[in-house]
Amino acid sequence: MNMGRLFWKFFFAFLAALLVAGVGVGLAVFLFHQQSVAQPVRLERQSPPWPDARPSGPDEPRFGEMRLAPPDGFPPRGLPPPGGQPPPLLPIVAALLASLAASALLAWYFAKPVRNLRWALGALSEGKLETRVQPLMGRRRDEIADLGRDFDQMAQKLSQLVESQRSLLHDVSHELRSPLARLQAAVGLARQDPAKIAATFDRIDREVVRLDRLVGELMTLSRLQAGTGEEGKSRLDVIELVAGIADDARFEARASGCDLNFSASGEFVIDGKAELLHRAFENVVRNAIKFTHPGTTIELETDLSVPRRLRLVVCDCGPGVLPSELEAIFEPFHRGADASADGFGLGLAIARRAIEAHGGTIRAANRSQGGLCIEIVLPAA
C-alpha cells in the first residue's frame, strides 16, 4: 500500500519527537545513576560481639581495624548485584523500536483520513456525485472528521444542483417543443392553403412572442441562479416601487372581473436592483390576478412594524394549492394541479431568487377562507 508523502512526514516528525524525549529520559536516568555511584564511602570500626572474640578467617578484620562500608542500597562485599548487569545497548534498542512502532501508528492514524479525502475528491471529479467520505472516518471527533462532513455536504449540494439542472434542461426542452411544433404546423397550413396566410401569420406572431417571453424568463432565471444581476445596485424606495406595480396591476385585474386593494404608508429605502425587485413583485401580483376568482378582491399589504424590515403580503381568492406543493410552486416550470393555466411556471421561481438575492425570504400559505397568500420579507440595507 502506498503510504504517501504525508505519512512519511508524520512518521519522521513523530519519530524525532519520541527520540528526543527518549534521549532526555535516558540522560536523566544516567545522571541519577552516576550520582548514586558517587556517594561517599563510610568507614566502620569493627567491634567484636564479645570481648574475647578472635578473627575467624584471613579476610575478616581484626579488632579495632577499619573497613570500607558499601553505600546504602548496594549489596555487601562479596555478593554479586541482584539480577546481573543488563547490556548497555538494550535500553537504547528498546527505545528505538518503541519509537518506530509509535511513530508508524500515529502517522497512519493522521494520514489515513487525508488519503480518504483525496480518494473522495478524485471520485467526485470523475462525476461520482454519490461519493461520501464520512462513513470512512469511523468514530473520529476532530477537525479532520469535520472536514469530512463538510465534504459530504458539498457533494450533496452538488448532486442537488446537477439534478436540478438536468430537470431544468428537460423542462426547457418540453416548453420549447410545444411552440415550435405549433409554428411548424402553422407554416404547413400556410403552404397547403395560401388563402389563410394572414391568419397563419397572426398565429406565428403569437408563438414568436411566446417564445421570446420564455427565452427572456429563462435568461433572467439563469442569471439569478448564477448570482449575477442585470444591473448594479442603487438606492430605491420599495414602497414606491410596489405602489407603481399595484397601479398597473389594478387595471389588469379589473379587466379580468376582479379588483386589487393596496394599502401602504411610509417608505422603505434599500440598496437593491430595481429591475429584479420589480420583476419579483410583479410576478407575485400577476400570479394572484391569474388565479383569483372573478368578482373577488386581491389584497396587497405592506407592514413596517418591525424596525429595518419590510413585510409584503399578497392574498388572492383563488383555489389555493395543495399543502404538499406550497414549496414546490417556487421551483421552475411547476404549475401545480392546474397545468392548463397560461404561463411557463417561471414567475414565482424568478421571484424567489430575486428576493433571496437581496437577503429576503418568500413563502406561501393557504388562506383559511380560501385562496393563497404569498409573504415577502426584505431586510433594510
Question: Which positions are catalytic?
Answer: 174
β-pair type (309-315, 297-303): antiparallel
Q: Which residues pair with 301 in a beta bridge?
A: 263, 313
Which residues are CB-contacts of 141 (< 8 A; sequence separation ≥ 6)? none
Give the whole-angstrom CA distance, residue 313 versus residue 301. Answer: 5
Strands (E), the chain: 42-45, 66-69, 234-237, 259-263, 269-272, 297-303, 309-315, 361-366, 372-379
Which residues are CB-contacts of 213 (< 8 A; sequence separation ≥ 6)? 344
Helix residue ranges, H only, 49-196: 90-125, 143-192
Give the whole-angstrom CA distance, residue 175 versus residue 170. Answer: 9
Region of 4 (left: φ > 0; alpha: ψ -120 to 50; beta: rest) is: left
Q: What are phi and psi of 365, to 5 degrees?
A: -150, 145
- DSSP class of residue 313 equals E
Which residue, 269, 306, 285, is CA-closest to 381? 269
Whether residue 255 contacts residue 219, with contact meaning beta carbons closer than 8 Å, is answered with no
